Amino acid sequence: MDVELLIGLINEVDIDSSRLSFERPSKSRTTRILDSLAQILVSKPSGEAVAVGAQVTQDNSIVILTIATNDGSVPAFMQIHFNRVWTSLKNIATCYQNHPHRKSWQDLPTNTRSRIDGFVQLVSEYSRERYKHQMNKTLSHNQQKTRFEEFSDIVQSLDSEHDVTKQLLKALPDMEAINKWLQSGTPETYTHLYECFYRLYKRARNVLRLQDLDPIKDRRMSFVVEYLKKVTFFPTSFRTLMQLASSRRLRSRFLLNKSLEVRYVSANTGGELITLPEQPVLQKLALAALRSKCKGLPPNYPTPETSEHLKRPTITIRMPIHCEVAVALDFLSDKRLPALPYIGVSKLSCLACWKFLSCLRKRKPGFHTRGTSGKANFPWKYPGKQLSKSTIKDYANAIYEEFYLEMAGRYTDCILEHPWSGASMEGEDLQCVEDILFQGIEGMEID
pLDDT in tens, 266-309: 766 544 777 778 777 877 888 888 888 776 665 555 555 544 54
Compute the CA torsion angle 28, 29, 32, 38 (nearest 10 deg). Answer: -130
Three-state helix/strand/coil letters over 181-237: HHHHCCCCCHHHHHHHHHHHHHHHHHHHHHHHHCCCCCCCHHHHHHHHHHHCHHHHH
pLDDT for 13: 79
Predicted local confidence at residue 296, as pLDDT: 63
Residue 130 confidence (pLDDT):
92
219-241 per-residue burial string, b: 16 or more CB within 10 A, e: under 16: eebeebbebbeebbbbbbbbbbb
Prediction pTM value: 0.87
| pLDDT tens digits, one per residue of 325-379 | 999 999 998 767 889 999 999 999 999 999 999 999 988 778 999 999 989 998 8
Residue-level pLDDT at 261 = 95
Intervals of the chain under pLDDT 50: 270-271, 306-307, 309, 420-447
Domain positions in the chain: 1-25+271-418, 73-266
